[in-house]
Amino acid sequence: MTARRVAREIAVILMPQLPKSKTGTAAIEMSSLVEKTVKMLADYAKQNLLDAGAILEKTNFELHNIEAEHPDNAKSTQHLHAVAMTTEQLREQITQVERALHLVAEALDIPEMTLASGSSTVNIPCKQCGHTNRASFEKYSHEEIREFLIKLLDAYSEHKVEIDEYIKSTRSKWNVERMVSIDRDILRLACAEAFFMQEVPINVAISEAVELCHRFADEKAAKFVNGVLADLSEQAKEFRRTGEFPEYIKNASRVELQGHVPEDIGESLEETKH
């Protein structure tokens, strides 16, 4: 996990807590928020490990039942013999194991490992063979994460009216007005990067947003966010090239500055279910 990805994850978690004004964003006590957010992400990783363990336990139970119910073991209750399985049964159990491995892989990406300077070596002993595997993790400083986090949140806070107008203008088949909050937050942050952070390639902003959906939401959210951002990519390139907003964006900004924001601007992205 890179420092920027850690910052993006923290930003997603912080979005619901952000003050409405840019001044309020600048006044955030980042050290305490980072500490709080890291704990939340670490708890998320621990829950993943628990879920993975539960899946493996369920898989083991189902395999035991397959053996116990097989005709070859009809007369044996104490010592079950290994039995042949159909490809369908194998695929079903392999799918469960893959789910568990995916959860473990996410859990190993514990943010606490990336929030201290230097590097760390973790020894992982194998209970079966006794061999110890050694894994090294690169870490990043709080300042590196904080710098990108502040830049990202500032880009969103300064241009949130424009960002929402861009989202509302998409030609995507997805209904933007029916986004759930986590989808909306990830999409807004991705737009902040794609339009207003020149150092981040647009394709990277899109792929990172999809990755955030996989981590915090689901496949449906990932497809939704990818679809909307794909529709907006050309507009993002044009804005980066010219630095000029289209007229409908300028009009929305003028309305915001005049303090007369129509209800559809403030409510078009309100949370509802897909």
Q: Does 231 have pLDDT greater than 60?
A: yes
pLDDT averaged over every residue in the chain: 77
Q: 159-267 has which CATH code?
A: 1.10.940.10
pLDDT value, residue 262: 44
Domain ranges of the chain: 3-109, 159-267
How distant, in Å, are the alpha carbons of 1, 100, 102, 130, 131 from that of 127? 27, 18, 21, 6, 8
Structure confidence by residue, pLDDT tens digits, 70-93 = 888 877 767 787 888 888 888 888
pLDDT value, residue 194: 97
Higher pLDDT among residues 189 and 18, named by residue: 189
pLDDT category of residue 208 using cuts at 50, 70 and 90: very high
The mean per-residue pLDDT over the stretch 94-99 comes to 84
Higher pLDDT among residues 274 and 215, named by residue: 215
pLDDT value, residue 25: 55
The mean per-residue pLDDT over the stretch 221-246 comes to 93
Cβ contact 13:40 at 8 Å: yes
Exposure string over 164-185, b if 16+ CB within 10 A, otherwise e: bbbbeebebebebeebeebbbb
pLDDT category of residue 67 using cuts at 50, 70 and 90: confident
Higher pLDDT among residues 158 and 119, named by residue: 158
* Long-range contacts (CB closer than 8 Å, 24 or more residues apart) made by 169-173: 169/235, 169/248, 170/228, 170/231, 170/232, 171/231, 172/227, 172/228, 172/230, 172/231, 173/227
How many whole angstroms from its chain centre is CA 72? 47
pLDDT value, residue 273: 37
CA distance from start to end of the chain? 30
Cβ contact 113:139 at 8 Å: yes
pLDDT value, residue 114: 46
pLDDT value, residue 10: 84
* Total-model pTM: 0.61
Structure confidence by residue, pLDDT tens digits, 128-180 = 556 666 655 455 566 788 889 889 988 998 898 899 889 988 866 555 567 78
